[in-house]
Structure 1
Amino acid sequence: MAPQTAAVWPYDTYHDLRWLYVYHDSWPAFFAWLLVMVVARAVFHTGLGVLAWPKHMRRPTVWWLLRRSLGLAVLVALLVAPWALISVAASVVALSWVLLASLLPMVLLAPFLQRAAVIGPWWRGLPSAPLVGWSLLNFVVLTVAGALSWAVPGWWTVLVAAVAGILNGLLWNRSVHSALLAPTTRWPRVPAAPIAAVLALAVPVVGSVVNAKTGEGLGIDVVMLDEPMPAGSDHAVIVLAGYGSSYGGERPPDDRVEVFSYRGLAPDGQPLPYDREDTRISVADSVRLLSRQVDRLHRRTDRKVALIGESEGAMVARTYLQQSAHPAVDTLAMFSPLINAGRAYYPPPNEKQGFGVATGWQLRQAFRLMNMIGVSNGDADQPFFRSLIDNAPFYRNQLLCPVPGVRTVAFLPTTTAAEAPPGEYSDIPVIQMLGVHGTLLDRAQLQDRLIALLSDDPLPATERRGEYALLSWLGSAWQTPPLAIAANPAWAGFRQPDPAFTGKACLPAR
């Protein structure tokens, strides 16, 4: 993230706000550092504007530029704040489409904001083609520089950041020149910048719809519930669907397969139908329901039990194995688990202090607004989200670690690469497959791996895709900084190394 420190608007403010949202620990600290951020940005932009001003053009006074930069620093902070907030939410739930929804508005607004400090009615008319080109090049430079900052060892990061700073200076120079020499080319009387800001507000809505549609494809429930179990398998299976799923009570064709119910079991032992809202319960409640269902299924079939979980279901199954696993459970397949979830924190609403206290308050207001306009009916403090936040050290460090006596495999779609900073977070076989969260595209490959797993064949070796590592590096520049586990009193009971600093999980306790 370091190269974004000297970037042009809005990427620099996006950088500052993400740090502020994660690392403030009280309301006074939030407002104090927000004030420092705004003033420092105004002074910095004024200096860069003076240095970049074309020599053949008359420059306004420094005081004029400072006043304008100060007002714009406040405006840009207000415009960028919702997207920085969504970026923090992405680091809590570890979903790439949420991160993308926070980043696309920055790309959309950048050409408008980059001319704001140097021309008068900057909000009218479309920005010139050169200004759009320089802003897109700045995004590319920041992405590549961020990837290199993660890739190089030790102090080489400082050199990468220094080179990125030089490139940022050149881009500042070109952006100021483009804004002054060609203030606008089309629609000079149209309030294009406010229209762009309104369009940016629609990005998360479109993203949620697209994610819902792509998630209707090939999921674990489709693969496991449509066909009988393989002939060579001696397992009974519980399929745990993901967040926002629903179940109408239909029985799978194979009597050895059951759907995990987020509502529990009927008196006859069959899983109860459930709605999307039922998946919002806490992981602890889901673990208790799963424990009863595993015990009931084992007694009914007298077979070993395999758990196959998708997204939230994978988190529930892995937590169950950590806390209260039945001895009959010997197999776990995790499909689209939430890698490195809980990298940020905000306290419950009744607490007035703690890391992310202002972040939590703002997220609650954002959910209320989305609920009012019918975009969502969620809650920033729903039990499932709080489970990820309150137990984040476990999910950040132990999710993809071996469980004694349990054969464990994780299936990761390619979009998972952008859901967490680069690192080695697994000590179990991981199969990287083409797809998005909750949807894999190669049904034959998925079925082959699951059949082998359920037939007690040797565990497959880790299978990597070439683009996975590249996407991980390129996405690293836009990740929210992870909150250090040792810094948060709410995580005081955790005594293992922090993957945010080691880049590795499953390390022994200190």
Structure 2
Amino acid sequence: MCRIRRRRPSFRWSLRETRSRTVRRNGVVLNRRFVGLLLVTSLVPMIEATVLVALGFRAAQGIPPQLTALWPYDTYHDLRWLYVYHRSWWEFALWLTYVLVARGLFTTGLVRLAWPAGVPRPSLGWLLRRNVVLGVLVGGFVAPWAAISVAASVVALSWVLLASLLPMFLLAPFLQRVAVVEHWWRGLPSISLVGWSLLNFVVLTVAGALCWAAPGWWTVPVAGVAGALNGVLWNRTVRAALLPSRVRWARVPVTPLAALLAVAVPLVIPPVTELVPGNEQWIRTAVLERPLPAAVTHAVIVLTGYGSDYGGEQPSDPRVQRFSYRGLDSDGKPLAYRSADTTRSMADSVALLARQVELLRRRTGRRVALIGESEGAMVARTYLARRHDATVDILVMFSPLIYAGRAYYPPPHHDEGWGVVTGWQLRVIFGLADVGGGPDEPFIRSLLDDAPFYRNQLMCPVPGVRIVAFLPTATATEAPPGEYSRIPVYQIPGVHGGLLDRRLLQERLIDFLIGKPIARTRAEYPLMQSFAAAWQAPPLPIEANPAWAGNRQPDPAFTGKVCLPAR
């Protein structure tokens, strides 16, 4: 007998063949499947939104629409929750396995419902194997960036959040083909796939803003509508992946090359942000390299930010002094320091600042104004919380880390604790990338250990002290939307550590030191806050973390307010 060989199913179809196989019955089946697809993709986000609203978890209410989004945003949604909410290695491994396999199974169902009528569909077993394997592969690719998004919620830096999001944005059009096309690693995605992937990002961004802005239980139907739009996008992307008009570079392994590019792009972000004129440069021009106007009656200490250095140069005005992260010499002059010295703990920096404030007051006989940028602003504000006396009655903060410490990971010698695996993954990532001193620097650990204060009290008034914060608009993307300050703020275009209109800032700074009240808000600031709501990692509740038991504060993630009195 002749042996009959089963032909392997082919996934190359022409548009003419597809049309010839489309009949009225298939159109009915398609409509039913399409309705089922919309029901599934809308119901699941509504369930998550219902839980978050019931818990009053305001800060995370922009996330549910991503639950049924296209690859890789759905996996990004899953892993951000997991990286924040696990307490041991075995718990992380168990939930990671469940999340990746469940995502593969769920995607299989979505692909079957989205499959266009008239196109031969592979067996259920083939789809299951393909999508479960895909779930694991995408999880491995997304995992480092999900961990970095948690790091972004610790340090509250917009460029770190952008670095975690860019790789997925760049690779998304390539991943849409993996679930349904046999040779998915070859060829460029079609213009349709690129367009649908871009639209998915826009939908998730706008939906996150609307979910957060919707009052009360209205968040649930808004999440449902966003999920239904995800269903439409699943329908269109599966069709676009199966019926490309023409595959360009059909023999080139474009997808692996795109993955390498996506990994490399975030490394360019820190150097690019340094091209924006920095605060330290204009602070030198405004305060350190020229005498202050006679109308300024205070002595001034300037605290520069993370990674700054100081060669021991003396300011031109004897009333002005540079804060040193190494302390003072025997004559009371600030010591030169290197960028590595800025990694010291907040407690050590506050102790050095207290000594410097005391000696400057003795030498000048004046009250002291503190001007701090980034880390320097955090040190100055922490000083006012821990050691404040009547000597300091003016604080100017440039680019403070708003709402830092929203997540946690324990020190390396701890085997358990919220985010234990996240901490080790960040240590590996920072070690391989050779970026900074890593996630366990004393300064970073200060933000983690004293997170309740920085989340609730950083931008609050201090009795007897005039305070203003100059905020670049990029800080709007660094924290969940809602109330973040009860002190005057002056918002101006720029990125963290770089404010663009330096001449205006010099004028406003001197005005404030003289005694004039200043404040300015920009209409785009709250809008940018809302649009970033979808991409923040969910914060860890203050009440949940035993490491924060000694510093309980009302949690803005639930109250939507800051500066509430500590319990």
* Counterparts of residues 337-348 of structure 1 (less than 5 Å): 337-348=400-411
Residue in 1 aligned with 2:140?
78
* Counterparts of residues 53-92 of structure 1 (less than 5 Å): 53-92=115-154
Deviation for aligned residue 1:325:
2.1
Paired residue type of 1:311: S
Distance 2:430 2:535 in 1: 23
- Could you tell me whether the CA contact under 8 Å between 1:291 and 1:326 is conserved in 2? no
- Could you tell me whether the CA contact under 8 Å between 1:220 and 1:309 is conserved in 2? no
Deviation for aligned residue 1:231:
1.5
What SS is found at the alignment partner of 2:274? helix
2:522 is the counterpart of 1:465: yes
2:289 is the counterpart of 1:226: yes
Residue in 1 aligned with 2:336?
273
Residue in 2 aligned with 1:350?
413
Distance 1:405 1:225 in 2: 26
Q: 2:551 aligns with which of 489, 494, 499?
A: 494
2:564 is the counterpart of 1:507: yes
Distance 1:380 1:203 in 2: 21
TM-score norm. by structure 1 comes to 0.97
Distance 2:84 2:562 in 1: 21
Residue in 2 aligned with 1:445?
504
Q: 1:156 aligns with which of 218, 231, 236?
A: 218
What SS is found at the alignment partner of 2:221? helix
Distance 1:6 1:481 in 2: 17
Q: 1:426 aligns with which of 462, 473, 485?
A: 485
* Counterparts of residues 317-328 of structure 1 (less than 5 Å): 317-328=380-391
Task: Give deviations 1:381-405, integer Å, cap 9, x for gaps.
Answer: 0101100111100000000101111
Deviation for aligned residue 1:5:
0.3
Q: 2:173 aligns with which of 111, 114, 126?
A: 111
- Could you tell me whether the CA contact under 8 Å between 2:190 and 2:240 is conserved in 1? yes
- Could you tell me whether the CA contact under 8 Å between 1:307 and 1:317 is conserved in 2? yes
2:159 is the counterpart of 1:97: yes
Paired residue type of 2:111: G
Distance 2:188 2:359 in 1: 64
Q: 2:90 aligns with which of 28, 32, 36?
A: 28
Task: Give deviations 1:169-197, integer Å, cap 9, x for gaps.
Answer: 00000000000001862111111111111
Give the fraction of aligned pairs with identical amino acids, expressed as a percent. 66
Q: In angstroms, what is the RMSD of aligned CA positions?
A: 1.3
- Runs (5+) with no aligned partner, structure 1: none
Residue in 2 aligned with 1:15?
77
- Could you tell me whether the CA contact under 8 Å between 2:207 and 2:222 is conserved in 1? yes
Distance 1:182 1:222 in 2: 58
Distance 2:534 2:282 in 1: 30
Counting matched residue pairs gives 504
Distance 1:288 1:47 in 2: 59
Deviation for aligned residue 1:316:
0.2
Residue in 1 aligned with 2:357?
294
Distance 1:428 1:367 in 2: 35
Q: 2:305 aligns with which of 231, 238, 242?
A: 242
Paired residue type of 1:185: V
What SS is found at the alignment partner of 1:214? coil
Residue in 2 aligned with 1:177?
239
What SS is found at the alignment partner of 1:124? coil
Residue in 1 aligned with 2:368?
305
- Could you tell me whether the CA contact under 8 Å between 1:127 and 1:183 is conserved in 2? no
Task: Give deviations 1:188-236, integer Å, cap 9, x for gaps.
Answer: 1111111111111112210111122325465534432132112201100
Q: 1:184/1:240 Cα in 2 relative to 1: closer, same or farther (>3 Å)?
A: farther
Task: Give deviations 1:423-474, integer Å, cap 9, x for gaps.
Answer: 11211111111111112122232122221221133x33x4110111111111
Distance 1:299 1:280 in 2: 29
Task: Give deviations 1:111-149, integer Å, cap 9, x for gaps.
Answer: 111110100111111111100000000000000000101
- Could you tell me whether the CA contact under 8 Å between 1:241 and 1:311 is conserved in 2? yes
Residue in 2 aligned with 1:146?
208
Deviation for aligned residue 1:377:
4.3
- Could you tell me whether the CA contact under 8 Å between 1:215 and 1:437 is conserved in 2? no
Paired residue type of 2:449: D
Residue in 2 aligned with 1:46?
108
Task: Give deviations 1:367-419, integer Å, cap 9, x for gaps.
Answer: 22112xxxx24221010110011110000000010111111111111001000
Deviation for aligned residue 1:326:
3.7
Task: Give deviations 1:227-278, integer Å, cap 9, x for gaps.
Answer: 2112201100000000011111111111111110001111111111111111
Paired residue type of 1:350: H
* Counterparts of residues 355-394 of structure 1 (less than 5 Å): 355-371=418-434, 376-394=435-453
- Could you tell me whether the CA contact under 8 Å between 1:220 and 1:335 is conserved in 2? no
- Could you tell me whether the CA contact under 8 Å between 1:119 and 1:183 is conserved in 2? no
Paired residue type of 1:292: R
Which structure: larger Rg? 2
Task: Give deviations 1:139-165, integer Å, cap 9, x for gaps.
Answer: 000000001011111111111110011
Distance 1:81 1:403 in 2: 41
Task: Give deviations 1:323-377, integer Å, cap 9, x for gaps.
Answer: 0124211100011000000111000000000000000010111122112xxxx24
